[in-house]
Amino acid sequence: MRIATFNVNSVRSRAERIVAFLERNDVDVLAMQETKTSEAKFPYAVFEAAGYEVAHVGTNQWNGVALASRVGLEDVRTQFDHQPAYEGSVEARAVGATCGGVEVWSLYVPNGREIGHPHYDYKLQFLYSLQHEVAAQTPQLFTGDFNIAPRDSSVWDIAWFEGKTHVTEPERAAFEMLLEAGLVEIRHDDAYSFWDYKAMRFQKNQGMLIDFLLATPPLAGKLVKAWVDVDERRGKGASDHAPVIADFDTTAFAYDEVR
């Protein structure tokens, strides 16, 4: 099974491009973040015409997550247990479903905004709560935009980030806590998955690695290969993120689901 995560930065403005990416890369399951639309306005028909079922959670022009699958979409969940609220509302930041025998979550972790901001505390609480969803002995994949660069090498210049979010010790500790809960970071050879539109960051390759696939051991052990589709960041109308893609041999999981 080929699974990808992609912060699409507005699904309505990029629907045709996203579907072209799916077809070009032969993707089975796509986790999307920052769809930036309500469920009523999500372009379901574009994905369905390409052979994908879609589960989407979104309320307005902010946040929004979705799963598009051509290998089944069962047991859809629109938030995880104990998902924290921000300013009294549980935001559209998580959607999960069983796809081809694997429990897949699309996650858009809060940005954090500034160190000391209430949104920073919200970000940490989101990650603390997420660890309780991990069932290490079952095939699960927690994927999406984590808004954390877990290592100094995950950013183009660690000195530039001094005093900023995404690289602080509490954020990195929260990411590490997910690994200690039983998840395995799916590694690849590509340096970054995000390049800001500002200051020609992409052209200068001044990026960040903040998009991840975190798998439980039964799934991580079936990894074939993983990579970032950097070319998808190029050209007119590109998102500021590139998709991260992984191939897994999930034959046994799909068989168990059928049984």
Among residues 28, 52, 56, 108, the one annotated as catalytic is 108
Distance, first Cα to last Cα, the chain: 19
Q: How far is CA 61 from the centre of its chain?
A: 18
* Cβ atoms of residues 141 and 105 within 8 Å: yes
Q: Is 34 annotated as belonging to a binding site?
A: yes
The C-alpha atoms of residue 164 and residue 132 are separated, in whole angstroms, by: 28
9/99 Cα distance (integer angstroms): 24
Tell whether 240 is in a known binding site.
yes
145 is in an annotated binding site: yes
The dihedrals phi and psi of 108, each to the nearest 5 degrees, come to: -120, 95
25 is in an annotated binding site: no
Is the Cβ–Cβ distance between 110 and 147 less than 8 Å?
yes
Can you state the percent helix, strand and coil of the chain, rounding each to 5? 30, 25, 45
Tell me if residue 132 is catalytic. no
Q: DSSP H helical segments within the chain, as ranges? A: 11-25, 44-49, 118-130, 169-180, 217-220, 251-258
Question: Among this protein's residues, is 197 annotated catalytic?
Answer: no
- Asked whether residue 9 is marked as a ligand-binding residue, the answer is no
E strand segments, the chain: 2-7, 29-33, 53-57, 65-69, 74-77, 94-99, 102-108, 140-145, 184-185, 211-215, 223-228, 244-248
* 255 assigned to active site: no
103 neighbors 138 (Cβ within 8 angstroms): yes
Three-state SS at 67: strand
63: alpha, beta or left? (left if phi > 0; alpha if psi -120 to 50): left
Q: Is 117 annotated as a binding residue?
A: no
Catalytic site residue from 56, 120, 122, 145: 145
Active site residues: 108, 145, 241
Annotated binding-site residues for Mg(2+) read 7, 34, 145, 147, 240-241
